[in-house]
Structure 1
């Protein structure tokens, strides 16, 4: 057994022992008899099993949420905010356990697990609690009073790549808006959700307000998306699955919020601080082993700085040490599964066949013998219309593309069916802002602007529908009513 398999706290043991779902305020035996194995992607060993939910389990969870809907909606916003604040405290008390668990089931290096996978959702959760305590004032339009009301029962379906943050980004604003939730976390990384629900139980949320059913997408996910008593589905994942969920919800005219794929561009203009722009760009491309929907997976560089940028990108990529996620020197962990690794390597091999210039990494690069690793990989001279520049790779692979000027940089950046995030670097703040306004994407960082957990997050085009985080995220789970007087 390696150090990655050692439970450093009681939290890992609690997660591994889970055999029940959380329904109507208590741990409840599942109705189905199946189990789902959970693998450590570094050791390649099964570290736990969780129950495989059934349609009947979904029915029970939705019924509990439906029964809680009216009283939770009637709960004053300040009281709902107090519940969320207690939940944040309970999650914070499990921060070390959560980081260790995320390292074990996702393969995230511990510094990343602690700072990003746990630190960021805790900030989001506390921010939502504060925002919920001061709801927006009702609006008067002529003789109409315009009010917002909870949309109703929410099905939250979350992915494996950020197993705590994506849960918090949906559950917290839905609860703040007055909506009970049924959560289906990814069956690939479910242990984090169990630890989160330990916190939910300790925080004493009212029965039925928050429910947990683990299972596969074709069974539990589809049952939730098509359930007649679910008023809204909030999903994060692939564009293909998001389209399927949209169809299921559309059959009963249910609301959907979708946070889907991305192919974000990092625009490095001619007057940019090149070392800073490239260093940050490589970091954002490789964060979480590239398994990030907002990854800056395309770097567009002015031709006058292009050769230097490629050299700097290679130097930065060399600093991403692969290895055991618990080792302090590890900067790049394994991918979540063998299937995900093979998928990423397929993109790499296709890029080579398409004529892109491999700068570093690739399928033949040396990686640890144990674990689902892909070496940090950088391609130059990438065709902006080619597969590597158009398809979401979801691995540590960066495509560098030369551009002639700002106008071509914007055109290439917008040449995508996605539109989730991006970046612009320039010594001229107004120039950078003008380019940022021209990008068809839901978020843009200018000169390394910090992530703002209170700002709306979401995408254009096939990157999704709706917004998460902050006041906009709470509003997403409400209906608007006009009362004429």
Structure 2
């Protein structure tokens, strides 16, 4: 135990112990063993962090900083992340088991989000209103909200934190981040770079621990003005209830049950690789995982055969190895969850095409085979519920209308893939499918320029892109009497 790394919390620019004095273990999924200790935060620690963030928000060091200056700090942070990308990627892989090559690629691209919001920081502006009163000038401005609470999940900790951190800071807010208790290490490793970039103490704070009490205390704290949450629907319901205490604005990114629709005129090889990428990339532990494949009956057998063949050749193993294509699941509970859904699929009459169990060579790690079901009832649990793992359901269709109905047949509406060489069809289906993100002849493409978000059980609000700035600012209107005359009648509205 003495050789395990020990992480404290980061509050007001200092590394601090939890008020409880306690730590909890964080596990390496590839080995199924603890590798570090993380401070176990309390309600008192949340209050300490939020108070620090509020003071930093009001302090001239941050409040009087120009938006251009804030942009320069964000650009500097992006540069520092670029320099440390490979090192930060190792911590991500150690903590959640994702492939080191995927994490390196993701971390090397992450600075682009900070550069984007660095450039946007001094372009947040209002407008002069063409008001209908000749003796009045009216204009709007956009102002920061105050303290932001960010609750982040375990599947892509630094990427999903960045989607909240970059626009929040660009807009002039301060932030308290509660990372998943499963993956706290990489975010804490980022904090020295926050300091080195020049952000004043208290602007960025991290409180580690569990949803109860840390998450609950943070999302209901009276000084929190904005809650940005990524996670599951059940946890989101708690967040919404908590926000009733402080009337904080809330945005929710809650995952999905995303469809990949393959028409008979699609490139079968490309579509098969897109399906593989959508569901077996990141071991299916992705908010936008393409967990439902709808294949036109004319090419159903052909595409399914290609998907099953490639799935059978996926190299499962150590996520630190260059040749590995699928690493472990992030937690032991995720393995049990996969087993539950495999059993449910069989019970509801689906045919297991491939996978469905832990691989024999998995050792003590939390590995699970890529799994494919066909003859799936579209209303069965495996076709309706977010599994968040490498489990694919394959369902045939005949008409465009049927494909759209099947795609829209769940409570989720985050992402969708459309595979066709027919341009008009692509546009028709993209318009008709309920999803906040639609990819055509590709999948899992991201950019800081493009918004991310869904509706219904996939949440509301948008992250990334210019739209995110509106989530972290509020509008103020200013009226100026230009006539130089006193108000004529104080009892009549002007």
Q: Distance in 1 between matches of 2:88 and 2:468?
A: 24
Change (3 A) 1:264 1:469: same
Number of residue pairs aligned between Structure 1 and Structure 2: 470
RMSD: 1.6
- Equivalent position of 2:451 in the other structure: 456
1:36 lines up with 2:31 in the alignment: no
CA distance in 2, matches of 1:322, 1:426: 31
Distance across 2 between alignment mates of 1:177 and 1:255 = 15
Contact 1:160 1:186 in 2 (8 A): yes
Query: Unaligned stretches of 5+ in structure 1?
Result: 1-12
Can you list the C-alpha shifts for 1:352-384, whole angstroms capped at 9, x where unaligned?
111111111012754522310110111112111
Match of 1:127 in 2: 116
Which residue in the other structure is 1:24 paired with?
Answer: 12
Q: What SS class does the counterpart of residue 304 from structure 1 fall into?
A: coil
Q: Does structure 2 conserve the Cα–Cα contact (< 8 Å) formed by 1:90 and 1:199?
A: yes
| CA shift digits 1:43-76 (9 cap, x unpaired) | 1121110110111111110011111113434422
Rate the CA distance shift 1:74–1:419 in 2: closer, same or farther, 3 A.
Answer: farther
Pairwise CA distance, 1:261: 2.2
Where does 1:288-299 land on structure 2 (aligned, <5 Å)? Answer: 288-299=282-293
Q: Identify the match of residue 246 of structure 1 among 224, 237, 240.
A: 240
* 8 Å Cα contact 1:345/1:374 also seen in 2: no
**Structure 1 residue 104 and structure 2 residue 94: aligned?**
yes
Q: List aligned pairs for 1:243-282, cutoff 5 A.
A: 243-282=237-276
Q: Structure 1 residue 82 and structure 2 residue 76: aligned? A: no
- Superposition deviation, residue 139 in structure 1: 4.8
Q: CA deviation at 1:310?
A: 1.0
Deviations along 1:124-147, one digit per CA (max 9) or x if unpaired, are: 222222222433453535353122
Q: Secondary structure of the equivalent of 1:167? A: helix
Pairing of 1:261-410 with structure 2 (within 5 A): 261-363=255-357, 366-410=360-404
| TM-score normalised by L of structure 1 | 0.94
The aligned counterpart of 1:438 is 432
State the distance in 2 between where 1:160 and 1:189 align: 5
Q: Deviations over 1:205-226 (max 9, x none)?
A: 0111111111111111000011
Q: 2:223 aligns with which of 211, 226, 229?
A: 229
CA distance in structure 2 between the aligned counterparts of 1:294 and 1:424, rounded to whole angstroms: 14
CA distance 1:437–1:214, shift in 2 (3 Å): same
Match 2:465 to one of 452, 465, 470: 470
Residue equivalent to 2:487? none
1:9 corresponding residue in structure 2: none
Larger Rg: 2
Paired residues of 2:181 and 2:210 also in contact (CA < 8 A):
yes
CA distance in 1, matches of 2:407, 2:416: 9
Tell me if structure 1 keeps the 8 A contact 2:308–2:353: yes
Report the Cα distance in structure 1 between the residues aligned to 2:200 and 2:83, rounded to whole angstroms: 20
Distance 2:50 2:358 in 1: 49
Q: Which moved more, 1:151-160 or 1:140-149?
A: 140-149
